């Protein structure tokens, strides 16, 4: 038995990180995407290559060590879990092998007097890509590594309430939880790593394992494995001969193209079949000029925000000041001006519209633009323009702060300019400072030295919002503390079912929103462009790589040779989230 009882991570939840991002393979309805001009019908065919343009490249794509970006997506391609998750009807659904070849188990059962344990029956014929059997001992070892604090796995939060994991035999594994809670299926469904490939490596050294220098030697269980990897250029995936359902494609080539314009020029030219991270104005333009392209959406998977750091800029410690800055911003006008209305919704809190039981804009409506009320609040709090320069002062200090965001993102640059104008209109001076993405994340998340920041988080696919709101969490970048909110979150975590927990989560979210620690701007889609050549792709709120074994390429169209690479000077990373530069 592997004991996990000593691990009590203060921060729970899946910043998978969607997120925040993603822990298991998902599913979806292909018809949810934009199908203008997309092919209809046709029989799947074997053979051929699909080429994808991505913003980032892989780093340490192994279940225990991955941190984000493309690594997160590769979990849906290279590593199976005991169950396969999909997003349906506003919640996660967990499937066994009868519904998804990606699931290691064919059955599960709750056991124990209070059903605080789950027994999984695994398929016994499954093998790793090197031919070794996949067994319950791989599950036990993987969860031991998730729990080992020296391994520093970002998934340690998900094992905080797992007391132990035990292999009853090679194909039966039991999870023993401290108590019954709604996230038991999610937390026991994380991707599994091959014990034999890493056993003997110190947990602290897993992230530096030599295999990450020779990616073609990674041992995996999913539909594809690494064929070749050229850092800074491309990753080639080839079928894993031991996956239960053989992929239709001969290979998938993932090209690293950080420059947004270059990615979508390559899509237009036919050099790539799938391009991730489409700016909304690009979609509007290409719909007219290239009606044959399809547009897939990870719907409402992110929310853009202004974070107010009360520790580095004391005026932000005043709730009424934060509320004034929120009321001064005309979010509907931003969405119209930047042609984002189709792909965004006015945000109000951590639960996006994909959560049918938690998102309730009638009970918690977005704040209406009201510059006059914003001015009144600032006056009331002692912020007045006494010298006539247009900037309010208090105790001799002007209301002036620095707003940081990541450079190379045109949408954020445009939003920053509009924010500066709105705030100047109420007598507040925001100085804009674009930063290189790594520096931006360092200031915002690691060191928390920023004053105000324009960024975004991925929407978690579980109701648990504690990773952003517990005082000790590294992702609590606004350094929020509220005893009553903490109590509500603790009570929600202690409930045995979602039906009992969700009202508590809603009350906690309402308290947070009413305190205005963030200025919530909008929820938004992550949009992917697809050529008519590539078919069978399913994209929804769960992700874009959830069914790669079903992808196929039509023989009716051929892909052109790649266009010459070059820096177009266009936008770079599209979203800032804890683990991704997407």
Residue ranges of the chain with per-residue pLDDT less than 70 = 1-41, 68, 556-582
pLDDT of residue 472: 82
In the three-class reduction of DSSP (H, G, I as helix; E, B as strand; rest coil), residue 70 is classed as helix
pLDDT of residue 107: 97
- Rg of the chain over CA atoms, in angstroms? 24
The superfamily (CATH) of domain 2-33+61-215 is Dipeptide-binding Protein; Domain 1 (3.90.76.10)
The Cα 98–Cα 125 span in angstroms is 15
Average pLDDT taken over every residue of the chain: 87
DSSP 8-state code for residue 314: G
pTM to 2 decimal places:
0.80
Over 478-532, what HEC string results? CCCCCHHHHHHHHHHHCCCCHHHHHHHHHHHHHHHHHHCCEEEEEEEEEEEEECC
Task: Give the tens place of pLDDT for each residue, 529-551.
Answer: 999 999 999 998 888 999 999 99
Phi, psi of 410 (to 5 degrees): -65, -35
Contact of 11 with 475, CB cutoff 8 Å: yes
Q: How far is CA 463 from the centre of its chain?
A: 14
The Cα 168–Cα 136 span in angstroms is 8
The Cα 199–Cα 405 span in angstroms is 42
pLDDT of residue 9: 32
pLDDT of residue 319: 97
Angle, CA of 14, 244 and 59, to the nearest 5°: 45
pLDDT of residue 569: 29
The verdict on domain 302-525 having CATH code 3.10.105.10 is: yes
Q: Measuring CA to CA, which residue among 79, 167, 198 is closest to residue 128?
A: 79
The residues spanned by each domain of the chain are 2-33+61-215, 302-525
Q: Measuring CA to CA, which residue among 347, 322, 319 is closest to residue 334?
A: 347
Task: Give the tens place of pLDDT for each residue, 487-514.
Answer: 999 999 889 888 999 999 999 999 999 9
């Amino acid at each position: 038995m592997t004991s996990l009882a000593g691990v009590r991570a203060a921060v729970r939840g899946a910043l998978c990180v969607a997120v925040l991002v993603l822990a298991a393979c998902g599913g979806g309805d292909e018809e949810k995407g934009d199908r203008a001009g997309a092919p209809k019908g046709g029989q799947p065919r074997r053979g051929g290559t699909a080429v994808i343009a991505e913003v980032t490249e892989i780093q340490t794509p192994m279940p225990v060590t991955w941190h984000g970006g493309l690594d997160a997506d590769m979990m849906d391609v290279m590593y199976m879990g005991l169950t396969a998750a999909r997003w349906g009807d506003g919640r996660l659904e967990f499937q066994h092998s009868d519904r998804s070849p990606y699931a290691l188990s064919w059955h599960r059962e709750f056991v124990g007097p209070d059903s605080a344990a789950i027994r999984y029956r695994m398929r016994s014929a499954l093998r790793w890509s090197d031919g070794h059997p996949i067994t319950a001992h791989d599950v036990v070892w993987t969860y031991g590594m998730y729990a080992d604090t020296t391994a520093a796995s970002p998934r340690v939060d998900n094992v905080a309430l797992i007391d132990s994991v035990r292999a009853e035999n090679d194909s039966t594994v039991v999870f023993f939880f401290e108590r019954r809670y709604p996230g038991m299926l999610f937390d026991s469904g994380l991707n599994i790593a091959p014990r034999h490939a890493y056993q003997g490596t110190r947990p602290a050294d897993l992230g530096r394992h030599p295999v990450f220098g020779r990616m073609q030697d990674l041992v995996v269980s999913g539909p594809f494995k690494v064929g070749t990897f050229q850092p800074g250029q491309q990753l080639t995936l080839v079928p894993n001969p031991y996956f239960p359902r053989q992929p239709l494609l001969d290979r998938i080539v993932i090209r690293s193209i950080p420059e947004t314009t270059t990615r979508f020029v390559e899509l237009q030219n036919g050099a790539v079949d799938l391009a991730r991270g489409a700016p909304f104005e690009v979609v509007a333009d290409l719909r007219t000029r290239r009606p044959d392209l399809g547009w897939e959406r990870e719907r409402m998977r992110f929310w853009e925000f202004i974070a107010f750091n009360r520790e580095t800029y004391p005026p932000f410690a005043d709730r009424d000041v934060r509320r004034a800055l929120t009321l001064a911003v005309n979010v509907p006008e931003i969405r119209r001006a930047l042609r984002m209305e189709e792909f965004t919704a006015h945000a109000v809190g951590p639960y996006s519209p994909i959560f049918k039981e938690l998102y309730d804009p009638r009970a918690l409506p977005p704040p209406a633009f009201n510059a006059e009320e914003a001015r009144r609040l600032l006056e009331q709090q002692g912020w007045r323009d006494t010298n006539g320069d247009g900037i309010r002062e208090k105790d001799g200090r002007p209301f002036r702060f620095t707003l940081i965001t990541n450079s190379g993102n045109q949408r954020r640059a445009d939003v920053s300019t509009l924010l500066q104008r709105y705030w100047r209109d109420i007598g507040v001076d925001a100085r804009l400072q674009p930063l290189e993405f790594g520096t931006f994340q360092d200031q915002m998340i690691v060191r928390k030295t920023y004053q105000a920041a324009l960024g975004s988080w991925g929407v978690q696919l579980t109701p648990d919002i504690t990773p952003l709101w517990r005082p000790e969490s590294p992702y609590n970048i606004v350094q929020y503390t509220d005893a009553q909110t903490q109590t509500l979150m603790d009570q929600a975590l202690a409930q045995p079912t979602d039906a009992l927990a969700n009202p508590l989560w809603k009350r906690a979210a309402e308290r947070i929103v009413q305190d205005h620690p963030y200025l919530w701007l909008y929820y938004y889609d992550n949009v992917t462009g697809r050529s008519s050549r590539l078919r069978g792709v399913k994209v929804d709120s769960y992700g874009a790589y959830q069914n790669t074994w079903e992808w196929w390429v039509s023989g009716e169209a051929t892909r052109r040779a790649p266009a010459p690479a070059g820096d177009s000077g266009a936008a770079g990373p599209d979203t800032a989230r804890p683990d991704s530069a997407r």
